[in-house]
Amino acid sequence: MSRQDIFQDALQRVREIGADAGVAPEVIAELMHPKAMLTATLPVRMDDGSTRYFVGYRCRYNTVLGPTKGGVRYHPQVTQAEVQALALWMTIKCAVVGLPYGGAKGGVNVQPKELSPLELERLSRAYVRAMADFIGPNIDIPAPDVYTNARIMGWMMDEYEAIHRVRAPGVITGKPIALGGSLGREEATGRGAYLVTMELIRRQGLDPKQLRVAVQGLGNAGYHVARLLQLEGMRIVALSDSRGGIHAEQGFDVDSIWKEKQSSRRVRAVYCAQSVCELVEHQQISNQELLGLDVDILIPAALEGVITPDNVDQVRAPYIIEVANGPILSDAESVLLERGTVIVPDVLANAGGVTVSYFEWVQNRSGYAWTLDEVRERLAEVMTRAFGEVWQVAADEERSLRSAAYARAFRRIGDAVGAHGTREYFQEGRQQD
């Protein structure tokens, strides 16, 4: 599937689940169209004095529940369609966990690994200059996503404040702590995914110590979920990044591999005792092979559209936790569901990130910083409650977890749409006159 089609695939899912869940057509219609989309050319002075032109996008998808919220991605495959699909999923995600936000997403079509740190800073500032009137603490609040991080968020906030001549830490989340970021934001997506995985395990009566896990994409989200699951006694038997992966049945020490990745930029099978790292026995595998491993839990934590009708027959894991956004295409999902695979959908599994982003925004607006324990406690409360609600809808209405999560979100959005008055309400009013 091309990146163009990913948005159509996302819309199709909304239509199908909406119809099946008996959601009012007005609510589905509301979700069929992004509210606003900005595409801009970003001229950036390179270190050699030349100027390169990049394309940047920002989509504010829906504002029914509040200002829009969503990450900014730097990746060579970013397209308008991808940004719109991600913004739609953000809209659903915020409603699933009950945040007062609509969804948004942004991106720049760029290979960030080819830029120097100074070029990356100029690009990030150029992005905010182009978007300065499109974002804002009460309008649209960006955050990190693939290949963007806290430092980039700091540059972006700084540029926004310089343009508007105000202090506005609430314009962006995922900032460095020193610039108003929240404790616990960096680990939040992985921790949220860990919390829902533990809920799933508990409800399925599984023993964590017997479970083998494969994680595709050892980035911010993938690292933290793998680390926390290892602490529960699970064996992390495979890990990968964009260049490929490693596999060992005895399991890896996630922290050692992460440490090595920070210094060498590669996923290498090492075990580190203090500062000494040694290679451990393993096989090199491709990202395709990782998806087909015989494991209990598969965690795609890189990019969307990795499990497709072409490779779905190779997937063997009975449980999939979608830490990446949109890793399973809808045609592939129906095959998995028929087979009895339990999928914890992205809109629930990776919602920990936006939840702590919301906490950061609340802290910025009140000028009062929370402790790490407070952040973790409140995150656990939100994720556990959301998982419980989705699980209940799935059980009561015999739905998959994704269908239940979407139905829950559509009903929340529907309540807000209905509060303004629906067609039914206005027609009744006319009859009474």
Binding interface with ligand NAD (CB under 6 A): 144-147, 189, 216-222, 240-242, 287, 301-303, 323-325, 350, 353
Q: Please, what is the angle between helix 188-204 and helix 220-231, to 10°? A: 40
Residue 320 near residue 341, CB atoms below 8 Å = yes
Task: Output 301 or 386, the one with its CB closest to ligand NAD.
Answer: 301
Task: Output 128 or 324, the one with its CB closest to ligand NAD.
Answer: 324
* Strand 244-247 relative to strand 283-285, pairing: antiparallel
**Cβ at position 83, least distance to ligand NAD in Å:** 11
Reported residue count of the chain is: 433
Q: Please, what is the angle between helix 5-20 and helix 330-339, to 10°? A: 50
Distance CA 192, CA 169 (A): 24
Residue 150 near residue 157, CB atoms below 8 Å = no
Task: Output 23 or 295, the one with its CB closest to ligand NAD.
Answer: 295
**Cβ at position 87, least distance to ligand NAD in Å:** 12
Task: Output 67 or 353, the one with its CB closest to ligand NAD.
Answer: 353
**Cβ at position 287, least distance to ligand NAD in Å:** 4
Closest residue by Cα to residue 295 from 319, 271, 331, 321: 319
Residue 92 near residue 67, CB atoms below 8 Å = no
| Cβ-proximal residues to 381 (8 Å cutoff; 6+ apart), any chain | none
Closest residue to ligand NAD, based on beta-carbon distance: 219
Which residue among 35, 69, 93, 105 is the active-site one? 105
Distance CA 317, CA 291 (A): 9
Cα distance from N-terminal residue to C-terminal residue, the chain: 53
**Cβ at position 171, least distance to ligand NAD in Å:** 17
Task: Output 142 or 219, the one with its CB closest to ligand NAD.
Answer: 219
Distance CA 57, CA 77 (A): 12
Residue 196 near residue 344, CB atoms below 8 Å = yes
Q: Is 105 a catalytic residue?
A: yes
**Cβ at position 157, least distance to ligand NAD in Å:** 16
Active site members: 105
